[in-house]
Structure 1
């Protein structure tokens, strides 16, 4: 791609539809299990059926949407079993990816982690200590930090699957935020993971990351229990 083409780039209609739908599925605007009807989506978003159908197919590949047997689409359901499966896969993929990244990471990788942590910590400092609904800006910074940690893992598929699983877990994080009674201050956990990673202390960094992932599962499970009650 030539430089002029890069600067003139605008997202295609499919990418625009995908971005809007993905954001709303993650935020819970479309409830878990809800049917996504093309005519209603056309009215809500202003896109024609073709880019919307392609966007829904991409969301289905990411596990955020399910294609049902009658050729329709539904938002993926939320359940303790699904959360446990996502968590198990994240531990299987993310923890070894971090270990590999620590082996292969260079100075630029370290600098990117520091920058991502700094932006996330600044955003967290503005959240306060009361109950919060996670906003899109915080979520993007949180995602960027976690992906920066494993950016030097040599396996492109491992990084891509980790990103997809992070997004599937994000829907649960957003869900649990609605039932939380105390503020969300994770920056201390993130700082410890970052410091161990930059020390190249793989054993500590990987243990901290695994506990961080498992603590998300515990928090969301509490929210699921509260929702049922």
Structure 2
């Protein structure tokens, strides 16, 4: 029987492995469709097989990787059909979650949203021109801002699923950023979403978030066309 210290250590190793592998998938270090072999991951990251398998199972549950019939793991493929499905689900789950959050959010919720936006705005001011989606710190703050908007939604499942779908879309945001012609920032969009959410204009902020989500899909579609035409 494992003692408490051993259990805590194992849990910490799983979290570390999960974080490293998740980052590798989101950033494209592991390309779409790539086989994730336990022995190679052990050599690369120094983890034993147990925390790696647990981390891979969690990533599979989040839809970032797939478990194949031979009990192996591969990075989930990238396709316009998959992005369309992710976008569809985000519109179904994330937009209603925002509606509930804006209606129910209290002063603490407002303060958290403002704080998350402030950190996002500050890092954008420091970054040089270029695709901000490829900066890891910006990506983390971008995620925190979007999830802060949903934090007052009473449904834990909606919040968890929204976060998972956001992460699945993150691969596509980074993918399109590598090939995007116009290196535009989204700070104005985020500012508008925040301001209107704090004004409790539910219909307008939901429409803005819907357009924000659809813009990711359009950017990736444009990137696919440029790649295919290259």
TM-score of Structure 1 vs Structure 2, range by shorter chain: over 0.9
TM-score of the two chains, using structure 1 as the length reference? 0.93
Superposition map of 1:117-196 within 5 A: 117-131=117-131, 134-196=134-196
1:96 lines up with 2:96 in the alignment = yes
Other-structure match for 1:24: 24
The count of aligned residue pairs is 223
Other-structure match for 1:76: 76
Paired with 2:99 and 2:205, the residues of 1 have a C-alpha distance of 8
Superposition map of 1:18-57 within 5 A: 18-57=18-57
CA contact (8 A) 1:83 1:172 kept: yes
Paired with 2:132 and 2:92, the residues of 1 have a C-alpha distance of 30
SS at match of 1:66: strand
Distance 1:120 1:132, change over 3 A: closer
Structure 1 unpaired stretches of 5+: 1-7
Other-structure match for 1:228: 228
1:20-62 deviation digits (Å, cap 9, x = unpaired) = 0001100000000000011110000000111101100000000
SS at match of 2:18: helix
Structure 2 unpaired stretches of 5+: 1-7
Distance 1:194 1:131, change over 3 A: closer
Distance 1:11 1:94, change over 3 A: same
Give the superposed CA RMSD. Answer: 1.7
Distance 1:58 1:194, change over 3 A: same
Paired with 1:11 and 1:142, the residues of 2 have a C-alpha distance of 27
Other-structure match for 2:67: 67
Paired with 2:146 and 2:41, the residues of 1 have a C-alpha distance of 32
Paired with 1:82 and 1:132, the residues of 2 have a C-alpha distance of 23
CA contact (8 A) 1:134 1:174 kept: yes
Other-structure match for 1:5: none
- Alpha-carbon offset, residue 182 of structure 1: 2.5
Paired with 1:123 and 1:11, the residues of 2 have a C-alpha distance of 32
CA contact (8 A) 2:131 2:184 kept: yes
CA contact (8 A) 2:65 2:75 kept: yes
TM-score of the two chains, using structure 2 as the length reference? 0.93
- Alpha-carbon offset, residue 10 of structure 1: 9.9
Paired with 1:105 and 1:131, the residues of 2 have a C-alpha distance of 32
- Alpha-carbon offset, residue 223 of structure 1: 1.1
SS at match of 2:100: helix
Distance 1:171 1:217, change over 3 A: same
Paired with 2:131 and 2:187, the residues of 1 have a C-alpha distance of 16
Deviating above 4 A after TM superposition, structure 1's stretches of 4 or more consecutive aligned residues are: 8-11
